[in-house]
Amino acid sequence: GFVTAAGFGAWAGIAAMTAPLDTIGKVEFDRPLAIPPLAASTVEDGTRRFDLTLQTGTTDLGRGTPTPTWGVNGDLLGPTVRAQRGERVELRVENRLPETSTLHWHGMHLPAEMDGGPHQLVEPGETWTPSWTIDQPAATLWYHPHLHGSTAEHVYRGVAGMFLIDDPEEAALDLPRDYGVDDLPLIVQDKSFDDDGELDLSTSLFESAGIIGDTVLVNGTPGPYADVTTEAVRLRLLNGANARPFTFTFDDGRTFDLIATDGGLLPAPVRLTSLQLSPGERAEVVVRFSPGERVVLRSENSDTRTTFAGGRDRLDIMQFRAADQLDPAPAVPAKLAEVPRLDPSDAATERSFSLAGSTINGRPMDMSRIDEVVTVGDTEIWTVTNADGGSHNFHVHDVQFQVLDIDGREPPPWLGGWKDTVWLRHGERVRLIMRFTDYTSTEWPYMFHCHTLRHEDSGMMGQFVVVEPGETPGPLAGGSHEH
Ligand code: C2O
Ligand code: CU
């Protein structure tokens, strides 16, 4: 059912500040965690090829009867695509869904025509085959549909998966990297069910922030546990939810080391006891276990400035069951990766984005309008403001950015690396610095938007093109599937 939380009213936050956190659901941890398979690929003529088929299916989500779901090469979610920096990849995306969709490579630096945004429509029965050369650091990225007006629904039904990039710099570090053993992908999503055990897609749930569910799935498994066989485990956390932020913490308050954020490794690990990820954000953390113990990963959202549903609550996510004998694992290296700082004095252009209602800078998304024209090679500073206190974050396609400051203050160490999505608390103003390189087009745009999917769908999104110096963008190419 629908969780009525602190409320959407402007002053509900006052009560929320003193009220205890809502504890959502009771979880038994009686199912082994599903691990998405690694996507099969073949290499021909120097290109690594993957087949991804969007399809319908049913999944046992513990509702007594199988739940209709959507997935990629399966019933729910999709395989983990994995490739090396420097490799050319080609993805054959076949749409066997009953509707038009798209598949976007979130966090990827690539030509706009390959981005899988709202202009690269894949009609039912059709196959779309983007191809590009991967050129960015090792990172945990993901893929999901991006059909304007339907992104929330298509992701919620289950179309999403991880896209991992490897590189020699990361491979040289002594970190857990045995996929599915001590290196676990964790796609965390909340769902709501109707009385028939089907995913609740009713209109009311898509109002305001969108769906806030009372059941958490990890990789599509409700109430999961994972067996731990090593002293250290790397978790690749993805908030794949439509609207709810998760503030990850362990039930015993243990520390963990944050080693990577959206765009790759941090310069050095950051020791934390909790970490907030809003929808679309990723993090890699390394957690240590002792023989025989059981530990629960939970979310405790406790932002006193937040008033939306899901802003203040506690949910259990999954359990870790450590074996009586654990394989030894070294501490996380003290130095991880070079993260060259972008220099604000290099910025050629500054832009401002104010997020409020269903708009950015007062304008709702228009598929035929180019909002910003960027010159390739430029460094830019983008100032983003949460102007209405809603549940907003900000995502930019094509680039990874760095956070310069938050309300004028230096960002915390966990925001010291590459990011492509950043959370904005009520009234907060965040300055981002980014550099646009390599790819230009006068007719294919990239997107910037709130990653609270209902907001994105209802218009909190804009489009930018990256062009050669002096070039004038023309009319936009590609389809426009308007609702
Ligand atoms: Cu995760 Cu524009 O998307
Ligand atoms: Cu928003």
- What is the share, in percent, of the chain residues with pLDDT greater than 70? 93
Question: What pLDDT does 203 receive?
Answer: 59
Domain 33-169, architecture per CATH: Sandwich (2.60)
| C-alpha dist (Å) from residue 272 to 111, 235, 286, 288 | 36, 14, 10, 13
Residue 309, pLDDT above cutoff 80: no
Question: What pLDDT does 212 receive?
Answer: 83
Mean pLDDT, the chain, rounded, equals 92
- Residue 105 near residue 115 (C-beta atoms within 8 A): yes
Using one digit for the tens of pLDDT, what is the confidence trace for 83-112? Answer: 999 999 999 999 999 999 999 999 999 999
SS3 468: coil
Kindly list the protein residues whose Cβ atom lies closer than 6 A to any atom of ligand 1.
104, 106, 144, 146, 280, 395, 397, 447, 449, 451
CA Rg value for the chain: 21
- 159 CA to middle of ligand 2, Å? 21
- What is the share, in percent, of the chain residues with pLDDT greater than 90? 84
- 410 CA to middle of ligand 1, Å? 26
Ligand 1 nearest-atom number relative to CA 106: 1
Do the domains spanning 174-327 and 344-467 agree at the CATH topology level?
yes
Q: How many CA atoms lie within 13 A of 329 on its CB side?
A: 28
Arithmetic mean of pLDDT, 136-146? 98
- Whole-model pTM: value is 0.94
CATH superfamily of 344-467: Cupredoxins -  blue copper proteins (2.60.40.420)
Q: How many CA atoms lie within 13 A of 352 on its CB side?
A: 7
Domain boundaries, the chain: 33-169, 174-327, 344-467
Pick the CATH number of 174-327 from 1.10.375.10, 1.10.10.10, 2.60.40.420, 2.70.98.50: 2.60.40.420
Question: What pLDDT does 128 receive?
Answer: 98
Q: What is the ipTM of this complex?
A: 0.98
Using one digit for the tens of pLDDT, what is the confidence trace for 180-238? Answer: 999 999 999 999 999 888 998 875 554 577 788 889 999 999 999 999 999 999 999 99
Ligand 1 nearest-atom number relative to CA 280: 1
CA–CA dist 460, 289 (Å, integer): 42
Using one digit for the tens of pLDDT, what is the confidence trace for 316-369? Answer: 999 999 999 999 999 999 999 999 999 999 999 999 999 999 999 999 999 999
